[in-house]
Amino acid sequence: MYRYDPYDHAMVKARVAQFRDQTNRWQAGELSDEEFRPLRLQNGLYMQRHAPMLRIAVPYAMISAAQLRVLAAIAREEDKGYAHFTTRHNLQYNWIPMDRVPDVLERLADVEMHAIQTSGNCIRNVTSDQFAGIAPDEVVDTRPLAEIIRQWSTFHPEFAFLPRKFKIAVHGAERDRAVVQVHDIGLHLYRDDKGDVVARVWVGGGLGRTPILGEVINEALPWRHLLSYMEAIIRVYNLEGRRDNPYKARIKILVKALGIEEFRRKVDAEWANLKDGPATITDDELARVSAYFVDPTYAQLPDTDAGFDARLNSDKAFARWVQQNVHAHRVPGYRAVTLSLKKKGIAPGDITDTQMEAVADLADAYSFGELRSSHEQNLVLSDVELRKLPELYDSAKALGLSSSTVGLLTDMICCPGGDFCDLANAKSIPIAKAIMERFDDLDYLHDIGELDLNISGCMNACGHHHVGHIGVLGVDKNDEEWYQVTIGGRQGNDTRLGKVIGPSFAAADMPDVVTKLLETYVSLREPEERFVDTVVRVGLDPFKVSVYGDKANKKKEANNG
Amino acid sequence: MAEILKNGQVHSDNWQVLYPEADADLASVTVADGQWLVPYALWQAQSALQSRSDVGVWLSPNDDLNQVAKHFSQWPLVAIDFPKFTDGRGYSIAWRLRNNHKYTGELRAIGNVLVDQLFFMLRVGFNTLALDPKVSPEIALKHLTPFPDVYQGSTDNQEPLFRRTDRAVAGAH
C-alpha cells in the first residue's frame, strides 16, 4: 500500500500542529464556535449527542495491521474500548474529549493516518472498491489514481468552502462495488479500444434528502486529465451551486437544474483553459505511485487444496462461511476473506480494541499485513492462501468475526443513528439489533439468499437506505420515531433507488414488516431469483398487501376513484 | 485607515469599502472624496466614478467576469468580497481573474476575512488581504503559511508537487 514520503509526513504533521493551534485559539476565545466549526469538521471532528465524534480517514479502504493496532490502542486509552467502521471506509470514535484530539491526531500521523477532510464542505475521502488490485473482474487497479486524487484534493486552496460536501468514488472492475453513481463524482476506470486507461465520469449523484443517480458527463476521459477535468467540474459547482439552502446545495441539484447538457457545456468551457496544463498527471507520477501497489510476494500455489476440500465437505458451518465470506482472487491459490462486523447484539460496523488487535495479527499471519474496510462496514483480508482458510476460519470464529452472513439479510448497513448522531431523526442501531435477533436462523438466512438491508436514521442517508433491496429510513413525526420502508433499491452496475411501500411504522413493528416482506418473496419467487429481482418482476403491490393488508387495497381504490 | 496584509507585512492604507444598502438606488448613492472601493454595479451606474483614479471596485459573486475584465486598466485595484467566510466563491473568482482573465494588478480580499483562510487566499491569487476588524494582524501574520509545501497547483504556483520535485520511488518498503 502507499507509504508516506517526507513530503507527505511533513504535510500531515503540519496539519496536526495547525489543528492544535486552532483548538487553542478556540479555547482562548479567539475563534468563535461558528468560526471553529468548519475547521474542526475538516479534521473530522463533530460535536455529537454525548461527546465529540472523530472520524479517521481510511483512504480508498486500505489499512495496515500496524495502523489498526494504533487505532486499537487509541480506542482503549482515549475512548471506551471500541470504534465504528462507517459506510465510507472510515473509522469513527465516539467518546474522545475535545482537548485530547490533537494528541490523537499526532499519534495517527506517526502511522501515516489523518482525519483530513473527513467532514466539512470540501472534497472528502475518496472511496473505492474494497477488492481493488485483487478482484478477478478488475480491469484497472484504482489505487494509484485514488492516491493521486487524495493528494490533489488535500488542502486544495480553492475548494475548502464548497456549497456542500463533495464525494468522489472510483472503481475499475466489471462490477461496480463502490456505488459510484451515488457520488458527486463517480469514476469508472476501464480500457478503451487502444488499451489506454480512460474514465467514464458520472456527476451529480447522491443520496440524502433528494436521492439522484449521477449522469454521465464524459464517456472516455483519458486518465492523465482526471485532475484538470475534476477541477473544472468543481470550479463550476463552487461558483454556481446553491448556497441559500443546505438541502439544495449538493452538485446534484445544480446538475438537475441546468440539465446535464448545459452543465457539460460549462465544464468543457472551463476545462478548455486547463486541459494539457500543469495539472495533467505525468507518466512518472503514475509510475511513482503505482510502485507502492505492486503485488506482494505471492506463493506459487495450486488453486485447490485437499485439506480445504475435506473441511468443506465435513463442516457445514465452514462451508457456509466459505460460500458467503470468501471471495475470488485473481491469483491462483489465494482468496479474499470478509471478517464480518455484523453480529447479534453488536451495532453493525462496531469493533472492540482487542478485536482490532487480533485482526491485525490475522492480517500479519495470513494477508501480508494489509486489510481493507468495505462500505458494507466489514473488514477484508485481501490475500489469504486457500489452504489456510480452515485455520483462519477457526481464528475468526474465536474472535466473533465469522458471521457467515456477508451479502445476506443480517449483513446490514446501518448508520450510528439517534444513539450517537446529532443529525438523526430516529435510532437505527436498535432496529438493526431487533432484525438480527428475529433472523438468527442461518438456514433461513441462506434460503432467503442475497439481500441488502440498509438502515439510515435520517434523510442524510449515511446508511444508504435508498440503494438497499430493503431500505429503512428513520423519520420524526411529532417527536416520535417512525420508520419508512422502501424496496427494490440496489447498488452495483444497475444501481436503482428503492420505492416507498406506504406509511411508516413504529420501531416495534419493524421485525414483523421484514418478516412479511420475506414471506411474500418466498411465496412468489422463481428458482434462483433474488428478493430484489422478485420485486422488480412482480412490482410493489403484493408486498404492500402483505404488509398493510386491506388498507393497501382501500388506499389504492381511493386513489383510483 | 485600514490594516491590510501585503508581502507578509502589516500595512495601513486609506482604501475604504462602500457597501450600499441592499435596496439603494445606485445612481443616487454618494461616493465621498477619498479612496473608495465601490461595487462594480455602482461603478457602472455612475459615469462620474469612471474617471476617478481614487475609486476601485469590489466584485460580488454575481458579477459577470467577462464584462468586468474589460475595465481592468481603469481601476487602481480590484477587491473580492467574502460576505461570509464560509462562502467559498471568492476563491474561484480570484482564480478565474488571475488565470482566465489574466488580471495582474492588486487583488484584495475584503469582508469576513479571517485567520485560517489566508493561506488559501494567497494561493488562489490575492496579494492584499483586508482583515476582518475582529482579527489581530499580528496573529494573522503568524498563520500565512501553515504548510511547508502544497500538493496541487494554483495561481501562486501552477506546478503540482509531482512536477516540481523528484519524489523518491517506492522500493524499500
8 Å CB contact of B162 and A7: no
Does residue B149 fall inside a structural domain?
Answer: no
Strand order across the A379-385 sheet: A62-64, A370-373, A379-385, A334-339, A326-327
More confident residue, B1 or A413: A413
Task: Residue A76: count other Cβ atoms within 10 Å of its Cβ.
Answer: 16
Tell me the residues of chain A between 134 and 193 that have a Cβ less than 8 Å away from chain B. 151-163
What is the band of A519 on the pLDDT scale with cuts at 50, 70, 90?
A: very high
Does residue B128 fall inside a structural domain?
Answer: yes
Q: Are B128 and B94 in contact (CB under 8 A)?
A: no
Does residue B53 fall inside a structural domain?
Answer: yes
Tell me the residues of chain A between 28 and 67 that have a Cβ less than 8 Å away from chain B. 30-31, 35, 38-39
Give the domain range for residue B60: 2-144
How much is the mean pLDDT over chain A?
A: 95
> Which residues of chain B are within 8 Å of residue A35 when distances are taken between CB atoms?
85, 114, 116
ipTM tops 0.90:
yes
Does residue B153 fall inside a structural domain?
Answer: no
List, in order of start, the domains of chain A with CATH numbers.
6-60+69-110 (3.30.70), 143-290 (3.30.413.10), 306-398 (3.90.480.20), 413-560 (3.30.413.10)
Give pLDDT tens digits for A168-193. 999 999 999 999 999 999 999 999 99
- Across the interface, of B86, B100, B160, the residue whose CB is closest to A161 is B86
Q: Name the residue in chain B with its Cα closest to that of A296.
A: B173
Percent share of chain A, pLDDT over 90: 91
What is the band of A146 on the pLDDT scale with cuts at 50, 70, 90?
A: very high
User: Quick one: average pLDDT of A134-149?
Assistant: 98
Q: Is the pLDDT of residue A559 over 70?
A: no
8 Å CB contact of B152 and A152: yes
User: Total domain count for chain B?
Assistant: 1
User: Quick one: average pLDDT of A60-76?
Assistant: 98
How confident is the model at residue A359, as a pLDDT? 97
User: Quick one: average pLDDT of B164-170?
Assistant: 78
- Across the interface, of B143, B163, B170, the residue whose CB is closest to A282 is B163
How far is the C-alpha of A56 from the C-alpha of A113, rounded, in Å? 8
Does residue B151 fall inside a structural domain?
Answer: no
Does residue B154 fall inside a structural domain?
Answer: no
8 Å CB contact of B89 and A273: no
Interface size between A and B, measured as CB pairs under 8 A: 121
How many whole angstroms from its chain centre is CA A81? 23
How confident is the model at residue A209, as a pLDDT? 85
Handedness of CA A126, A129, A131, A132 (dihedral sign): negative
How far is the C-alpha of B68 from the C-alpha of B61, rounded, in Å? 12
8 Å CB contact of B162 and A288: yes
Q: Are A464 and A87 in contact (CB under 8 A)?
A: yes
- Across the interface, of B87, B149, B173, the residue whose CB is closest to A3 is B173
What is the band of A561 on the pLDDT scale with cuts at 50, 70, 90?
A: very low
> Which residues of chain A are within 8 Å of residue B96 when distances are taken between CB atoms?
235
Does residue B170 fall inside a structural domain?
Answer: no
Distance from CA of A75 to the nearest CA of B (A): 27
Give Cβ neighbours of residue A430 (< 8 Å, ≥ 6 apart).
A419, A507
More confident residue, A477 or A337: A337
Amino acid identity, position A110: D
B20-54 burial, b at 16+ Cβ within 10 Å, e below that, comes to eeeeeeeeebebeeebbbbbbebbbbbeebeebee
Does residue B152 fall inside a structural domain?
Answer: no
Percent share of chain B, pLDDT over 90: 89
Give Cβ neighbours of residue B116 (< 8 Å, ≥ 6 apart).
A22, A31, A35, A39, B143
What is the band of B170 on the pLDDT scale with cuts at 50, 70, 90?
A: low
> Which residues of chain B are within 8 Å of residue A291 when distances are taken between CB atoms?
169-171
8 Å CB contact of A161 and B152: no
Read off φ and ψ for residue A511, nearest 5 degrees: -60, -40
